[in-house]
Structure 1
Amino acid sequence: MADPSAGKLSLPTLTAMVVGSMVGAGIFNLPGRFATATGPFGAIIAWLIAGTGMYMLARVFQALAERRPDIDSGVFAYAKAGFGDYMGFLSAFGYWLGSCLGNVFYWVLIGSTLGRFFPDIFGDGSSATAIIVSLIGVWAFHFMILRGVEQATFINSIVTIAKIVPLIVAILGFVFFFNYDQFAANFFGGVDMPEKTLLAQVRDTMLITVFVFLGIEGASVYSRFARKRSDVGAATILGFVAVTGLMVAVTLLPYATAPRAAIAGVQNPSLAGALELVVGHWGAVLISIGVLVSVLGAYLAWSLICAEVLFAAAKSSDMPRLFAAQNRNRVPANALWLTNIVVSLFIISTYWSRDAFNFMLDMTSVTALMPYLLVAGYGVLLARSGVGYETTPGERGRDQIFAWIAVVYTLFMFVAAGLKYVLLVTVLFVPGTILYVWARREQNARLFTPVELVIFAVTLLGGAIGAYGLLTGLITP
C-alpha cells in the first residue's frame, strides 16, 4: 500500500519554510532603518507592539488551522469564508501582489548589495545593469521552480541554515564589542539626530516591522503539503519565536557599538555597514554574502508562495481556471508565468523610482496588511460562532481576544503606513478586478452583492485618487 505521507512536508521542513520566508531581506536592513527613526527606547516599544500584534496573528493562524482543517489554501480562503467572494478575491490578489512586490524588493537589495563593491555598475540597485541582472535571475529561478516544488523546498531548507550563520556571527560580534556607555548615550535618541516625538519615532519603524514578519503564514499557505494538520500551527509559532529573537537582537545590539547617527548613515544593507563600524571591512563582506544567500533563498520561498496563492485561488474559482493548471511536476505553471511577468515589469519600473529600495519595502508591507486584517477578522467570527470548538468550548473566549488584538494591530498599521501607500495599493487593485470578473463569468455567477458593490466603488474611488496623485506629482514613488 502507498504511504499517504510520502512527498509530504514534515514539521521541521514546514518550520524551515516559515523561517526561510521570514528571514529574507528585511532583517539585514533593520539597524539602519531603526537608527534613522529612533533610539533603543523607541525600538523596544516598537518591537513590543509589533511582536505582540504579530504573535496574536500567528495564534489566529494556528487556531484557524486547527478549527477549520477543511480550508487548506491559507490566507485568502479564510477571507472568503468570513466575508464573501469579492473580499476573498481581494485578499488573494492583494497577497499575491504583495508577494510580487516583495520579490522585486529582493532583487533591488541584491543590486544595492553588489553596489557596495561595484558602485559604478550597480549603484543603489535600480541602475540599468542591476535591472538586467535581476531579470536574468528572475527567469533562471522560474525555470528551476518549474522542475518541482519538492526540489525547491529542499533547496530552501539548505539555504535557511546557510543564511542564519552570518546573522549569528554579527550578533556575537555586537555582543563582544558591547559598550554600555554608548548604548546609554543612544537610548533616548542620541546626539546629532533630529528631534521627534516618541510616537513619531515608533510610527516610523512600523512598516519595516510588518515587512520582516511577512512569511509568518508560510506554513499555512503550504498546509496541503503538511504530513499532519497540527504541524501547520506548530511550525508557525516555532518560526515566529525564533525569528523574533534574531530580529530584536539585530536591531538593539548595534546601538551599543556606535553612535546612532553613524548607524543611520551606513549604506544598505545596513547590517553590513553596522558590523563594518565594529570589526572592519571583513564584517561587511561576510554580511553581504549572507544577504545574497538569504535573499535568493527567500526569493525562492516567495516565488513558490506567489504561484501557490494564484493556483489555490483558481482551484476554488476565485481566479480564472487558467491558473489552476499544473505541469507534470505538480507546479502551477501558468500562475508562475503570470507572477514572473508581473515581477519583471515592476523591476523595470524601479528605474524611475527616487528610492526604489524603501519604496518597494513599504509597498510590500501595506499590500500584505489587508489579507492579514481579513484573516484576523475571520478569527473573531469563527470564535464567536463556535464552529470547530465543539470539543474545546473553553478556548473560544481566549481565541476571540487574540483575534481582536490582531484586528486592532493591523488597523493601527494601516494608520501608521499613511494615506499615500493605501492609495497606491488601490491603484493596483482596480485593474486586478478584471481577473475577478473573468472568474465570475466562467462560472456564470453573480458579480457583486450590494455590499460588495460598495466595496468595489470605494476601491475604484481610491484608485482614481491615487492615479491622479501619480499623474500630477502629488504622490511620488
Structure 2
Amino acid sequence: MTASSNSSDQKLSRGALIALVVGSMVGSGIFALPSSFGRATGGLGALIAWGIAGVGMLMLAFVFQTLSRRKPDLDTGIYAYAKAGFGDYLGFASAVGYWTGCCLADVACLVLIKATLGQFFPIFGDGTTPTAIAAASALLWGVHFLILRGVKEAAALNTVATFAKIVPILLFIVIVIFAFKADIFAQNFWGGEEPTFANVSNQVRNTMLVTVFVFVGIEGASVYSRYARNRDDVGIATVLGFLGVLCLLVLVTMLSYGILLRPELTSLATPSMAGVLEAIVGPWGKIFISVGLLISVLGNYLSWSLLAAEVLHSAAVNRTMPSFLARENAKKVPAGALWLTNIVIQVFLLVTYFAEYAFTLALKMTSSMTLIPYLLVAAYGLKLAWTGETYAADPRSRAIDWIRGAIATIYAAGMIYAGGAKFLLLSALLYAPGTVLFVIARREQKKTAFTLVEGLLFGAILVAAAVGLYSLVTGTISI
C-alpha cells in the first residue's frame, strides 16, 4: 500500500499506536509472572533481571524511535531496517523470522485461551484436546474475517481490548499493595539460597528468557508506522508503551514476593496471578483473573495477527516476498499475507495435539524467532551512528545513539546466547523451508537467488537445520 492509497480514515492516532505496543506486549506472559519468576529466582535476582531487561529493551525502544525519525522512508519497521542495513537475504530472514514468531505467539494465545477455559470446562483440557483445537480453529478464522473487514476496525477493537485487560492487572496491583507483607518479602529476597554472587547470578540467568517473551511486541508501532497520522508519534508510542508495560511487569513480579513464599509461588497453576489473588481475597480472585486473562490473550492474539500479516505484506511490496503476498482487498487489508499467516497458524495448531508442552514450546520459540530480527534492528541503529549516515546536520546526537545501539545490540546477542543451541537449531528448522519464499520472489524478478555471501549464510542455516532435525529424531533435543 502506498501513502497515496491510504485513506484518511485508515490513519492511526498516537493513542491507537500506543495501544498496539501495549496490546502486543501485555498478553499471557504477565499473568504467569509470579510462578515463572518464583521458580527461577528470589526478589534480588528478579530486581537485577528486570534491571538488565529494562535497560536492554529501553535501548532497543530508543533505537526504534531514532530510526523512525532518521529513516522515515522505511515505514515497515523491523523488516525494512534489516534489509536497508544488511541486504536482501538478511532482510528476508528478519521478515520471515518475525512473521513466524508472530504465528507461534498466536498459537500460544489460542492454546492458553482453551487451557484457561479447561479449568472450568474439562472438555478443553490443557488446550490441546480435539475439542480445544476445533474451538481454537473457529476463533482463528473468525478473527481472520474480522481483520479482512479493515485494519482500522481491527485496531479499534484492539484498543478496546487493551484498556479492558489493563483494568484487572491494575486492580491486582492495588489489592496486593495493601496485602503486602514485608517479612514474607524478606524471606524471598535471596530466593531461599545462600546469599552468594554465584547463586544470584544463576537465578538471574534463569529468568532472562522469561523477560524476553513479555517484551516481544515493543515494535508494534514501528511495524504500523505507515498508518500513523504523525510520524513522530511512532517513536513516542514505542517508548511510552514500553515504559508503561515495564512498570506493570515489575510491580506484578515484585509485589507477589510479599504475598506467598517462593515454594508456594512455584506451585501455582497458570495463570499464577490468579493464585496470588486467590490467596488474598478467596476463590473469586481466581475467577476474576481468569476472565482478565481471557480478555488479555484475545487482545494479544489480535495484535499478533495484525503484525504478522503486515510484515509479510510489506516484504512482498518491497519485492522480498512473492508478489501474491502483496495482494490487498477492497478495504486495503493485506489479504494474501493474512491468508498465508492463518493457514500456517492452523498447521501449527494441529501440531500442538502431538506436542507434550505445546504452550511452553510456543512461548520459547516466539522469543527465539524474534530475537534475531531485534538483533538486526539494533545493529542497524549502531551502524548508522558508527558511519555517521543521517548525522551530518546533528552530530551531537551521534554519540548517544551509538551508545544506545551498542547496548541494544549486546543485549539482543546476549539473549540469543542465553537461549542456548537448542532453540537456534529449532529456529533453523523454520528458517530453512521459509527461504523457499525468498527464492520464488527472486525468480519472479529474474534474479540470481543468492549472492555468494547470502549463499554461504543459507548453507549455514541448512546445516543447522539438518543438525536440528537429526537431534530431534535421535532424541538429543526434544520439544
Global fold match (TM > 0.5): yes
1:451 matches 2:456? no
Within 5 Å, give how 1:297-446 maps onto structure 2: 297-446=299-448
Within 5 Å, give how 1:213-224 maps onto structure 2: 213-224=215-226
Contact 1:17 1:219 in 2 (8 A): yes
Q: CA deviation at 1:334?
A: 1.2
CA distance in 2, matches of 1:117, 1:25: 18
CA distance in 1, matches of 2:326, 2:23: 26
Counterparts in 2 of 1:327 and 1:419: CA distance versus 1, 3 Å? same
CA distance in 2, matches of 1:338, 1:4: 25
Q: CA deviation at 1:104?
A: 0.4
Give the alignment partner of residue 83 of structure 1, picking from 63, 74, 86: 86
**Which residue identity lines up with residue 41 of structure 1 in the other structure?**
L
Give the alignment partner of residue 125 of structure 1, picking from 124, 127, 132: 127
**Which residue identity lines up with residue 63 of structure 1 in the other structure?**
T
Structure 1 gap ranges (5+): none
Map of 1:74 onto structure 2? 77
Q: CA deviation at 1:267?
A: 0.9
Q: CA deviation at 1:298?
A: 1.1
Q: Tell me, what secondary structure is at the counterpart of 1:372?
A: helix
**Which residue identity lines up with residue 29 of structure 1 in the other structure?**
A
Q: CA deviation at 1:199?
A: 2.5
Q: CA deviation at 1:301?
A: 1.1
CA distance in 2, matches of 1:3, 1:46: 42
Q: Deviations over 1:403-423 (max 9, x none)?
A: 010110011101111111110
Q: CA deviation at 1:123?
A: 2.1
Q: Tell me, what secondary structure is at the counterpart of 2:119?
A: helix
Give the alignment partner of residue 54 of structure 2, picking from 28, 51, 56: 51
Map of 1:210 onto structure 2? 212
Structure 2 gap ranges (5+): none
Number of residue-to-residue matches in the alignment: 473
CA distance in 2, matches of 1:397, 1:445: 39
Give the alignment partner of residue 92 of structure 1, picking from 92, 95, 117: 95
Contact 2:107 2:362 in 1 (8 A): yes
Contact 1:427 1:466 in 2 (8 A): yes
Contact 1:276 1:282 in 2 (8 A): yes
Contact 2:10 2:151 in 1 (8 A): no
Q: Deviations over 1:243-282 (max 9, x none)?
A: 0000001111111011111111111111112211222111
**Which residue identity lines up with residue 186 of structure 2 in the other structure?**
A
Map of 1:280 onto structure 2? 282
Map of 2:170 onto structure 1? 168
CA distance in 2, matches of 1:3, 1:239: 25
CA distance in 2, matches of 1:108, 1:126: 7
Q: Tell me, what secondary structure is at the counterpart of 1:188?
A: coil
**Which residue identity lines up with residue 38 of structure 1 in the other structure?**
T
TM-score (norm 1): 0.97
Map of 1:31 onto structure 2? 34
Q: Tell me, what secondary structure is at the counterpart of 1:387?
A: coil
Map of 2:11 onto structure 1? 8
Map of 2:263 onto structure 1? 261
RMSD of equivalent CA atoms: 1.6
Counterparts in 2 of 1:122 and 1:200: CA distance versus 1, 3 Å? farther
Q: CA deviation at 1:103?
A: 0.4
Q: CA deviation at 1:385?
A: 2.2
Map of 2:117 onto structure 1? 114
Q: Tell me, what secondary structure is at the counterpart of 1:197?
A: helix
CA distance in 1, matches of 2:15, 2:77: 19
Using the TM superposition, name which of 32-41 and 3-12 deviates more.
3-12
Map of 1:252 onto structure 2? 254
TM-score (norm 2): 0.96
CA distance in 2, matches of 1:475, 1:128: 26
Contact 1:69 1:229 in 2 (8 A): yes
Q: CA deviation at 1:4?
A: 7.6
CA distance in 2, matches of 1:456, 1:295: 35
